[in-house]
Amino acid sequence: MTVNNFFFRLFLLAFLSVGSIYAQSDEQKELEARKLRLQEEIQQFNTLLSQKRREKTDVLEDVEDLNQKIRIRKELIKVTNEQTNLISRQINNNINKISKLRDDLKELKSDYAEMIRKSYKSKSQQSRLMFLLSSEDFLQAYKRIQYMKQYTNHRKEQAAEIQSKTTQLQELNNGLVTQRKDKENLIAENRKEQASLEREMENQRGLIASIKEKESQYAAQIREKQKQADAIDRQIDKIIRDAIAKANAANKETTKESRESATKSSNFALTAEAKLVDTDFKANKGKLPWPVEKGVVKMRYGKQPHPVVKSVTIQSNGVRIATENGAQARAIYRGKVLAVQAIKGGNKAVLIQHGNYISVYNNLGKVYVKEGEKVTTKQEIGEVFTSPSDNETVLKFMIYDNNHTDNPANWIYRM
């Protein structure tokens, strides 16, 4: 192998290795960030559960809470496994690099030794001075001087390359020790999480068995709660329809005919300012802040089997977010308060208009804003109600596109 080919191979190997290291580093950072979020979610959930000092136990809620914890913990175990697998791949890659580097060093040292041997042999046959004096003319002598300089520099470069590759080899070996230690820590962490998961699942099985004995009774309770939730949703739907009609009738930027038409419509007739808010709101889809600073989603959007009694189907027009006592509800984006309403069986609700979209914050014990008021992103609009019977603090949050519900998880960052 020529010297030029050898250095090209070394450069190519280094380039590919750097690209691989950066890719793995980004993946590692993403996995670590996911793991920290899940650990924080579990911690939040444990904090919320510790606040629920109940006078009497609600088995259905206990199982719902346990289901949620199990789901989060399973996801955490999955992420930790992905981290372990990534480190295993990195270890294997580094072992292959070390093997390749050792072969390259062996070849480089062999070439260097041969160069030294030839140089010594050349010195023994004739001195540099004689080599120069034997030149036929000045130009040849000049070229020989340049050749000797290049030859000397090449020897120095090869010696430096040997030193550099030796250092890389030592660093890779040290890195292997660290990586193997990280892998051991992750495996130990995973065992701990697995043990917690097994305890929770055992507890879950016991609770579910007790529910099975009275399944028809619990199913009746769930259906009754669903009826109450449906009644509240109908109230909110009516509030939104009435608010759209009222806002359209009051819109002075439209003609009398269009206002009368808009009053009967299910969509907003937007002012220029409202159109701008609408555009900005849509542009931030998936990036909007949570309606509470800390919280865990206990029920997701849409039609779904009950998390405990699977024979019962429930409909959720929004999400239920469990949060801490005294938590403040926050506007997810700038807009105008469309309505503040006392909901029968549901405490108070605040509706905020963002162009064609409406965010709904239900189950508030206190409200800090009034109808028509403009609010900013993350502005506190009220305090989430804490139930005195079970000490649970839950915000019922919805997003409407005009008078149609939409999944909040599509809009809120990492919901």
Question: For residue 8, what pLDDT is reported?
Answer: 47
Rounded distance between C-alpha atoms, residue 362 and residue 350, angstroms: 7
Average pLDDT, the chain: 81
Residue that has been written with the tokens 């809470």 in this structure: 65
The pLDDT assigned to 97 comes to: 79
The pLDDT tens digits for 7-31 are 445 444 444 444 444 455 788 888 8
CB 362 within 8 A of CB 398: yes
- Band the pLDDT of 254: cuts 50, 70, 90: low
- Helices (DSSP H) in 126-137: which residue ranges? 128-133
Among 242-246, 368-372, 382-386, the minimum mean pLDDT is found in: 242-246
pLDDT in tens, 38-95: 888 888 777 776 666 554 457 777 888 888 888 889 999 999 999 999 888 888 887 8
Q: What is the pTM of this model?
A: 0.66
Backbone φ, ψ for residue 240 (5° rounding) = -70, -45
Are the CB atoms for 274 and 353 separated by under 8 Å?
yes
| Per-residue model confidence as pLDDT tens digits over 170-208 | 787 787 888 888 899 989 998 999 999 898 889 888 888
Q: Is 355 left (phi over 0), alpha (psi -120 to 50) or beta?
A: left
pLDDT above 50 for 221: yes
Percent of the chain predicted with pLDDT > 70: 79
Q: How many distinct helices (H) and strands (E) make up the chain?
A: 7, 12
Can you list the domains of the chain with their CATH numbers?
3-213 (no CATH), 215-410 (2.70.70.10)
Residue 170: the pLDDT is 77
Query: Which of 26, 48, 130, 38 is CA-nearest to residue 78?
Result: 38
pLDDT tens digit string along 103-125? 777 777 777 677 666 666 555 44
Higher pLDDT, 197 or 129: 197
In three-state secondary structure terms, 380 is: strand
Q: Which residue has the tokens 């405490």?
A: 347
In this prediction, residue 57 carries a pLDDT of 56
pLDDT tens track for 142-174: 676 676 677 666 667 766 777 777 777 778 778
Burial 183-192 (b: 16+ CB within 10 A, else e): beebeebbee
